[in-house]
Amino acid sequence: MKAPPFAYRRAENLTAACALLDAHGGNARILAGGQSLIPTLNLRLSQPELLIDISQIADLRGIRVGANEVVIGALTRHVDIERSADLARLCPTLVEAARHIAHPAIRNRGTIGGSIALADPAAEWPAAALAFNMTFTAASSKGERTLSATGFFKGLYETALEPGEVLKSIHVPLPAAGGKAAFGELTRRSGDYAIAGAFVNANLSGGRLSGVRIAFFGVATQPVLAVGAMQALEGTGGDAAALSAARARLEADLDPIADLYNSRATKLHLSGVLLGRLVAKLFA
Amino acid sequence: MDHLITVNLKVNGTDVTKSVEPRTHLVDFLRNELSLTGSHAGCEHGVCGACTVLVDGEIVRGCLTLACQLEGAHVQTVEGLTESGAIADLQTAFHQRNSLQCGYCTPGMLVCASALMDEHPQASREEIREYLSGNYCRCTGYEAIVDAIESTMKNRAAGKALAGEDA
């Protein structure tokens, strides 16, 4: 279908974007890469009066390595992450995950900031943000504030961003010396939304896991930290008994929702299968 | 609330200035404003890939890109790639191997395959399939499409090797 009519303004900088958001309130939407927003317009699932295009704001794009973190500008595209030599060296799991986002033509325009701000429960980046303890910088006409990924995702397409705020950058803590991470997702066809997907992030020292963080996507109305499974694996060697205990906690952790093709039981089972594969990857 | 936006861009090497409704998708802009009907509108929500075109050398979905966003951009369509001869060998291979039946997906397939051959000139069959996974064909079953792309890549590599020997 064709999108309904809307007005369009190109913001030259973040200040201008925030001013436009203030002026138009809830009737305006931020347009970044548009790879999720434009389909919802085409399907007439949303009808904003104004799109504020931030895609030309150059200083919102790019990957910078700091002393303790990698800073990813909100407008950094999935393809930029896929091709980043810095991320390949420091956070290869993110590079691996980027390759699983839709298809090349979508990854050439879609942005990490758009994905996180939209908070699609089936998207990779919101779950990655939880697993890697990322923080976000949000800007508004009142200034900037830092938000933790934990607590940011409030529900279906719902985040802790306040009206008038624009997501500016994503901050990924550099992994510790024994840092290990793994990513996986199960799909029917390449590029489809995942039936179940997850990131596992932990420290591995002397064969024992610590600081375990596990985030699932595609199973519930928002990305989910599997807190019970994290506790079950903490301090263990990821052996069969620990894994079995972790899997037993997934039902309460995830509370999966059936989709058109997969029942709740299937999603739960597949989440457990995935968890086993990812824990094995940590020790590989 | 709906006002026209003036956009200056290049399409297949030619400068274009047009006033567009903000909601106009790139594929509809190409088809309706510029009569470049090679790019096809299929699903119109980013799934099928029939509207694939190049923006600044990279493939994008014509149905998920607004024309008004393309200030200063260079758009290349299957018409541009055809006229320049850039994909003549690929088109011949599609023809020879019967890589199309109804032809609806073909322009998107050609543009996508062209980008793949530029980015990964030695892609394996598996990599070709992965790259094309966002382009649906409901007729051929893909095998002949992958054949055509693979053989064109091999021919180009062999041609380059010969050219290198000559030099």
Q: Count CB-CB contacts under 10 A for residue B77.
A: 26
pLDDT digits (tens, 9 = 90+) for A157-186: 999 999 999 999 999 999 999 999 999 999
Per-residue pLDDT, B1: 47
Laid out side by side, the sheet with A143-148 consists of A63-65, A69-73, A166-173, A135-140, A143-148
**Domain-located, residue A207:** yes
pLDDT digits (tens, 9 = 90+) for A25-73: 889 999 999 999 999 999 999 899 999 999 999 999 999 999 999 999 9
B81 touches chain A (CB under 8 A): no
Residues A149 and A186 grouped into a single domain = no
**pLDDT (tens digit, 9 = 90+) per residue, B30-73?**
999 999 999 999 999 999 999 999 999 999 999 999 999 999 99
Q: What is the pLDDT of residue A223?
A: 97
A251 domain residue, yes or no:
yes
Q: Are residues A33 and A77 in the same domain?
A: no
Do A67 and A168 lie in one domain? The reply is yes
Rounded to the nearest angstrom, the minimum Cα separation between A210 and chain B is 36
pLDDT over 70, % of chain B: 96
Q: Is residue A274 part of a domain?
A: yes
Chain B residues close to A42, C-beta within 8 Å: 25, 44-45, 63-64
Same domain, A97 and A71: yes
- Indicate yes or no: CB of B134 within 8 angstroms of CB of A103: yes
pLDDT band at B164 (very low <50, low <70, confident <90, very high): low
Of A156, A161, A247, which Cα lies nearest the Cα of A198?
A247
Distance from CA of B2 to the nearest CA of A (A): 5
Residue B130 confidence (pLDDT): 96
Residue B56 near chain A (CB below 8 Å): no
pLDDT at residue number B165: 60
In this complex, do A104 and B134 lie within 8 Å of one another by their Cβ atoms? yes
Are A158 and A249 contained in the same domain? no
Predicted confidence (pLDDT) at residue B167 exceeds the cutoff of 50: no
In A91-234, alpha helices (H): 92-98, 104-107, 112-118, 124-131, 227-233
Residue A43 belongs to domain spanning: 7-53
CB contact, 8 Å: B130 with chain A? yes
**Is residue A1 situated within a structural domain?**
no
Number of domains in chain A: 3
Same domain, A94 and A192: no
Residue where one domain finishes, among candidates A139, A173, A207? A173
Examine residue A73 and state whether it is found in any structural domain, yes or no: yes
Both A234 and A263 in a single domain? yes
Residue A48 is assigned to a structural domain of this protein? yes
Instruction: Tell me, yes or no, if A42 comes closer than 8 A to chain B by beta carbon.
Output: yes
Continuous segment of H or E residues that includes residue A54 = none
Q: Does A190 touch chain B (CB under 8 A)?
A: yes
Task: Check CB contact under 8 Å for A42 and B63.
Answer: yes
Please indicate, yes or no, whether residues A161 and A192 belong to a single structural domain of this protein. no
Strands A135-140 and A166-173: antiparallel
Same domain assignment for residues A164 and A66: yes
Please answer yes or no on whether A2 and B28 come within 8 Å at the CB atom.
Answer: yes
Average pLDDT of span B92-116: 97
A250 in B contact zone (CB under 8 Å)? no
Q: The pTM is what?
A: 0.95
Say yes or no: A158 and A185 in one domain: no
Facing residue for A2 by CB, picked from B23, B60, B134: B23
Q: Is any Cβ of chain A less than 8 angstroms from the Cβ of B62?
A: no
Using pLDDT thresholds of 50, 70 and 90, give the confidence band for residue A84. very high
Q: What pLDDT, on a 0 to 100 scale, did the predictor assign at position A9?
A: 96
- For residue A148, give the CATH number of its domain: 3.30.465.10
Mean predicted confidence (pLDDT) in A276-284: 97
Task: Output the domain CATH number for residue A16.
Answer: 3.30.43.10
* Position B2 pLDDT exceeds 70: no
Mean pLDDT, residues B70-95 = 97
Q: Is residue A2 part of a domain?
A: no
pLDDT by residue (tens digit) across A90-106? Answer: 999 999 999 999 999 99
Domains of chain B: 5-77 (3.10.20.30), 87-166 (1.10.150.120)
Same domain membership, residue A169 and residue A67: yes
